[in-house]
């Protein structure tokens, strides 16, 4: 996978910067030895990245998240959902299967749900 492909993949999942990817890795205990710097190289496509290839397990993990997004888009609870979250803990409480993921993952999931199953007006949920 090229750096450009990787950037498209992670952004389609709601990870818009290296810190978001790193925070996610920490939250789920995955590849905790990877620092922010290599992730920045992967996302920016710097020539230095040629010496820091994207590990296969990282690529596979994000491909699995994309597959999960597709599978979740068919579930009734997401078809009925009309809320986006700014607080990840609120989102995780409502959707435990998204635990560790940023709120922007749900945003991307809901874009897909709306495209597949019809538009619904979304609103932010900001309290319990």
pLDDT in tens, 54-78: 999 999 999 999 999 999 999 999 9
Please state, as a whole number, how many other Cβ atoms lie within 10 Å of the Cβ of residue 84. 16
Percent of the chain with pLDDT over 90: 74
pLDDT band at 3 (very low <50, low <70, confident <90, very high): confident
pLDDT in tens, 110-119: 999 999 998 8
pLDDT greater than 80 at residue 48? no
Query: Phi and psi dihedrals of 61, rounded to 5?
Result: -60, -45
């Amino acid at each position: 996978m090229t750096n450009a492909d990787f950037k498209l993949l992670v952004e389609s999942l709601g990870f818009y910067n290296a810190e978001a990817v790193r925070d996610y890795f920490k939250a789920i205990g995955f590849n905790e030895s990877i620092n922010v710097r290599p992730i920045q190289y992967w996302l920016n496509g710097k020539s230095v990245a040629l010496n820091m290839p994207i590990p296969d397990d990282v690529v596979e993990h994000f491909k699995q998240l994309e597959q999960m997004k597709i599978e979740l888009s068919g579930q009734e609870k997401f078809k009925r959902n009309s809320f986006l979250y700014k607080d990840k803990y609120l989102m995780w409480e409502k959707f435990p299967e998204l635990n560790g993921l940023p709120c922007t993952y749900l945003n991307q999931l809901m874009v897909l749900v709306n495209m597949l199953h019809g538009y619904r007006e979304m609103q932010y949920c900001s309290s319990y």
